[in-house]
Structure 1
Amino acid sequence: MTMIDIDTLDGAAGFDAYLAQPGEVPRAAVIVIQEIFGVNEGIRRKCDALARAGYLALAPDLFWRIEPAVQLDPDIEPDLQRAFGLMNRFDQDRGVADIEATIRAARARVDGGKVGVVGYCLGGRLAYMTAARTDVDATVGYYGVGLDGLLDEKHAIANPFLLHMAGEDHLVAKDAQAAIHAGLDDHPRVTIHDYPGEDHGFAAEMGKRRSETAARLADQRTIDFFARHLG
């Protein structure tokens, strides 16, 4: 497992990121934003899959200020409760700043080339915030939580953004899903794919949450999206 150090934007500290590299010169770079379970095996597998598709992939440890190197299993109840506790202590604005620092580091590793972001759960929310607040070239969010409360930032999304939304997401109510559609359907840079009958976490790499058919469809759409917008 390859871990590298990323400097914070102010250069005052550093944090780890998992690195997966393709066997050839990278097409571009993609930042993989963790769920509330840390940079666990599932997130590392997402990076590895992107590397097989030709991208340099980096997954920053966004909980490093609270508890570095945490890896939790959502199918284990104590781990799940611990993950919610970490999320409640997590500063999302500082998290986006750390993602921006990772984007800069990734861009340097691909000689100034394009950088995309993909995030899951909490990472899906942070992906939206990243799309609105940074110069990332293309962004994908899976079942982001609370996006209906961030619609006032939609005007700042300048580059392509793809959202995968679970129709039966127990963490995103139907009225919230409707508000997201109402707020973003006419946005020229945003595409939303709905997955009827699917619950939060359906594209997890492993475990009880994974829904195989929907996961494969969403992941193929993500790869196709990055191929169009990153190369």
Structure 2
Amino acid sequence: MSLNETIPTLDGDASFQAYVARPEGRPKGAIIVIQEIFGVNPGIRQKCDKLAAEGWLAVAPDLFWRLEPGVEFDPDVEAEFQTALDMMGKFNQDAGIRDIEATIHHIRRTLGVAKVGCVGYCLGGRLAYMTAARTDIDASVGYYGVGIDGLLGEKHAIANPLMLHIPTADGFVGPETQQAMHEGLDDHPRVTLHDYEGLDHGFATETGKRRDDAAATLADSRTAAFFAEHLG
């Protein structure tokens, strides 16, 4: 099953698709799964399916729909990786946040789940931070978010809990950026940072070469406890 839900934009002048995984019975809450630069690919859908198995309504909006609806890339295929990088360069992040906000509204008003969190990876990790700062989402988690040092000016607007997972050997997030994140956020009452020594970008992907099982399991257990506390 691929994209199976239609969500109207905030302006109501268009709509986009999402992948929705539903739990058995009443959801504990809802979690928006924010894609990497590779689209709502099998790995992201697997994240949704796992969350649904744990009792959450999981929704992964197609944030690249303005560029090309329904794209899916494999990060282990070099040509697809380069195409994904190109699409990230063209992606309007502010519009993406508005689409995430539209997804929050759709979950609350149409799907009938009041408590909504988000978890994002790579580009999605950055967008999870932006969602925490720009929307009323109840809780947010970002894995290896890129360029968050450039968003620290928005930290005052983070009103609800945010957790960030930071691999210390991230090839896309260098030591200076990591240091700036810690200096800017360690004393924030709503933000928790976890470092993963010696690990690289993408360590918590569901499939492929980048995954590190032990670290992914640890990070995902922290995420699960975080959502249980703040969305349960």
Tell me the TM-score range normalised by the shorter chain: over 0.9
Q: Is the 8 A contact 2:29 2:113 kept in 1?
A: no
Alignment check: 8 A CA contact 2:27 2:113 kept: no
Within 1, Cα distance between the matches of 2:137 and 2:126?
A: 15
Measured in 2, the distance between the counterparts of 1:112 and 1:155 equals: 27
Corresponding residue number in structure 2 for 1:91? 92
Q: Structure 1 stretches (4+) deviating beyond 4 angstroms?
A: none
Counterpart for residue 9 of structure 1: 10
Q: Is the 8 A contact 1:28 1:110 kept in 2?
A: no
Retained in 2: the 8 A contact 1:118–1:124?
yes
TM-score normalised according to structure 2 size = 0.98
Asked whether 1:120 is paired with 2:121, we answer yes
- 2 CA distance for matches of 1:110 and 1:128? 24
Amino acid at match of 2:208: G
- Structure 2 counterpart of 1:47: 48
Task: Name the structure 1 match of 2:179.
Answer: 178
Asked if 1:80 is matched to 2:76, the reply is no
Displacement after TM superposition at 1:111 (Å): 2.9
Equivalent residue of 1:59, what SS?
strand
Deviating more after overlay: 181-190 vs 104-113: 104-113
| Unmatched runs of 5 consecutive residues or more in structure 2 | none
Q: Distance in 2 between matches of 1:28 and 1:110?
A: 11
Q: Is the 8 A contact 1:29 1:110 kept in 2?
A: no
Aligned residue runs from structure 1 range 77-156, under 5 A: 77-109=78-110, 111-156=112-157
Report the alpha carbon displacement of residue 53 of structure 1 after superposing the two structures with TM: 1.0
Same amino acid, percent of matched pairs? 64
Q: TM-score, normalised by structure 1?
A: 0.99
- 1:45 and 1:205 in contact (8 A); partners too: yes
Report if aligned partners of 2:203, 2:215 keep a CA contact under 8 Å in 1. yes
Q: Match for residue 191 of structure 2?
A: 190
User: Which consecutive residues of structure 1, in runs of 5 or more, have no partner in the other structure?
Assistant: none
Q: How many Å separate the matches in 1 of 2:163 and 2:70?
A: 28
- Deviation at 1:70? 0.3
Q: Is this contact kept in 1: 2:18–2:62, CA < 8 A?
A: yes
User: What RMSD over aligned residues (CA atoms) do the two structures have, in Å?
Assistant: 0.8
